[in-house]
Chains A and B, each alone.
Chain A
Amino acid sequence: MKIAVLSGKGGAGKTLVSVNLAAAAKEATYMDCDVEEPNGHLFFKPGKVHTEFVYNKIPVVDEQRCTGCRTCVDFCKFNALAYINGKLRIFEEICHSCGGCQLFCPEDALWEKNKAIGKIETGVSENVQVLTGVLNTGEASGIPIINRLFEAGQNTQNHTIIDCPPGSACSVMESIEDADYCVLVAEPTLFGAHNLKMVHELVTLFKKPHGVVLNKCVEGDNPSEEFCVNHNIRILEKIPYDTELGTLNSNAFIAVREQTAYRQLFSSLLQKIVKEVAYETTTHP
């Protein structure tokens, strides 16, 4: 079963929830798809880390064959190519690796080469297999890294917890595409509720069964909770605002591995999700 954990903003508690869900399972795979700033590994501190680089295809020109027709220059919507002084220039960091320039070159003068855009790291932390995607700074898109993470994690029989990037853009869509269930984490603020609305729209669009974890709950109004009540969204758990949990978390400890109360909270959360998915598969097969 694949469980994606997402939120409309950073700092709502995606990593807290996903790391602890994985730690609370008997055995699990934790997949960090927040490739621009992966941080789950800071908690798991996995051992036996295996690194694999991820590449994109970038065009290279055969200058003997290039006639300077500029078909490729005119084709490229990102303007990654220029023809100057009788030579084709390729701006690698602008290229989005669509391959169109090679397809359209009438002289077969363009080839492709590999360019490393990041890596995935695989390691083990007690009961959890930890997969981390890392995108190199300055690269345009983390999608190829996320795709590679899913390939690397596809053979596991255990629960897979997907720690998504913040927001509701392409990389989040890629991260939830294969998920059986989406957990939306939200803060008890107006801003939190606004961002919850955005990710809720996204999971509704993707027709994903979903529920909400309300994080950092305090006494008084909770705009995110109101949003859930008004829209009939299942509230899976309310995590209280707890300085002890905050301290554990900011020192990169996994609450589930340190405190029985949190082990119980996250085990129960995981069980609720598993039940929800079982219910979904019987009612919407």
Chain B
Amino acid sequence: MKLAMPVEAKDMEKKVSPSFGRTPYFLIYDTDSKEAIYLDNGAAGTQGGAGIKAAQIIVDSNVQALLTPRCGKNAAEVLVDGGIKLYKTREGSVKENLEDFASDKLELLEEIHEGFHNHGGK
């Protein structure tokens, strides 16, 4: 299956990005072929609604799951509409999280925040 993850660098040893909507890159990873592609996140610098645009990018890349530490309400609506399952990443590198996902250690992301709308994170 194909999955996506917000990442801070184009490097599996580096960390998962703490932000979904404004992450610099997305990793698109195929668990069968082990192929990894990095997408630039066109939503990162937008004035508002970054989560919506980032979610659109993820839906358009035909993944089945998103691995992310957090996700806003509007982005979650788009992702759920697009039939994408959300999993919560843990502390650690991108690679470690991919391994955790492969061994069913990642839980579904249940907690969806209200979004910041330019008011800063909590």
Chain B contact residue count (CB 8 A cutoff):
18
Q: Does B107 contact A (CB under 8 A)?
A: no
Looking at chain B's contact residues, the main secondary structure is helix
Which A residues are in CB contact (< 8 Å) with B83?
85
Task: Establish whether residues B78 and A84, one from each chain, have CB atoms under 8 Å apart when the complex forms.
Answer: yes
Interface string of A79-118 (1 = CB under 8 A from B): 1111111010101001000000000000000000000000
Which A residues are in CB contact (< 8 Å) with B78?
82, 84, 89
Q: Does B81 contact A (CB under 8 A)?
A: yes
Q: Which residue of B lies closest to A84 (CB)?
A: B81
> How many Å lie between the Cα of A85 and that of B59 in the bound state?
9
Task: Establish whether residues B49 and A83, one from each chain, have CB atoms under 8 Å apart when the complex forms.
Answer: no
Q: Does A25 contact B (CB under 8 A)?
A: no
Which of B26-34, B50-58, B86-94, B95-103 touches A? B50-58
> How many Å lie between the Cα of A73 and that of B78 in the bound state?
13
B36-72 residues with Cβ-Cβ distance < 8 A to A are 43, 46-50, 52-53, 55-56, 59
Q: Shortest Cβ distance from A79 into chain B, in angstroms?
A: 3
Which A residues are in CB contact (< 8 Å) with B117?
94
Q: B74 is contacted by which of A77, A85, A91 (Cβ under 8 Å)?
A: A91
Task: Establish whether residues B59 and A84, one from each chain, have CB atoms under 8 Å apart when the complex forms.
Answer: yes
Q: Does B82 contact A (CB under 8 A)?
A: yes
> How many Å lie between the Cα of A87 and that of B56 in the bound state?
12
Task: Establish whether residues B52 and A94, one from each chain, have CB atoms under 8 Å apart when the complex forms.
Answer: yes
* A91/B56 contact (C-beta < 8 A), A84-B78, A84-B81, A85-B82 known: no
Which A residues are in CB contact (< 8 Å) with B56?
73, 79, 82-84
Interface size grouping (class) on chain A? 10 to 19
Q: A80 is contacted by which of B52, B59, B77, B82 (Cβ under 8 Å)?
A: B52
Q: Which residue of B lies closest to A83 (CB)?
A: B56
Q: Does A78 contact B (CB under 8 A)?
A: yes
Q: Shortest Cβ distance from A89 into chain B, in angstroms?
A: 7
Pick the most buried of B47, B48, B117: most chain A CB atoms within 10 A of its CB: B48
> How many Å lie between the Cα of A44 and that of B59 in the bound state?
54
Which B residues are in CB contact (< 8 Å) with A77?
46-48
> How many Å lie between the Cα of A3 and that of B16 in the bound state?
54
Task: Establish whether residues A78 and B81, one from each chain, have CB atoms under 8 Å apart when the complex forms.
Answer: no
> How many Å lie between the Cα of A94 and that of B21 in the bound state?
14
Task: Establish whether residues A94 and B47, one from each chain, have CB atoms under 8 Å apart when the complex forms.
Answer: no
Q: A89 is contacted by which of B43, B48, B53, B81 (Cβ under 8 Å)?
A: B81
Which B residues are in CB contact (< 8 Å) with A84?
56, 59, 78, 81-82
Task: Establish whether residues A79 and B48, one from each chain, have CB atoms under 8 Å apart when the complex forms.
Answer: yes
Q: Which residue of A lies closest to B118 (CB)?
A: A140
Which B residues are in CB contact (< 8 Å) with A81?
52
Which A residues are in CB contact (< 8 Å) with B52?
79-82, 91, 94
Which A residues are in CB contact (< 8 Å) with B49?
76, 78-80, 91, 94
> How many Å lie between the Cα of A155 and that of B83 in the bound state?
56
Q: Which residue of B lies closest to A91 (CB)?
A: B74
> How many Å lie between the Cα of A78 and that of B48 in the bound state?
5
A sample of 12 inter-chain contacts (CB < 8 A) reads: A73-B56, A78-B49, A79-B43, A79-B52, A80-B49, A82-B59, A84-B56, A84-B59, A84-B81, A85-B81, A89-B81, A94-B49
Q: 14 other contacts beyond A78-B47, A79-B56, A94-B74, with CB at 8 A cut-off?
A: A73-B56, A77-B48, A78-B48, A79-B52, A79-B53, A80-B49, A82-B52, A82-B53, A82-B59, A84-B78, A85-B83, A91-B49, A94-B49, A94-B117
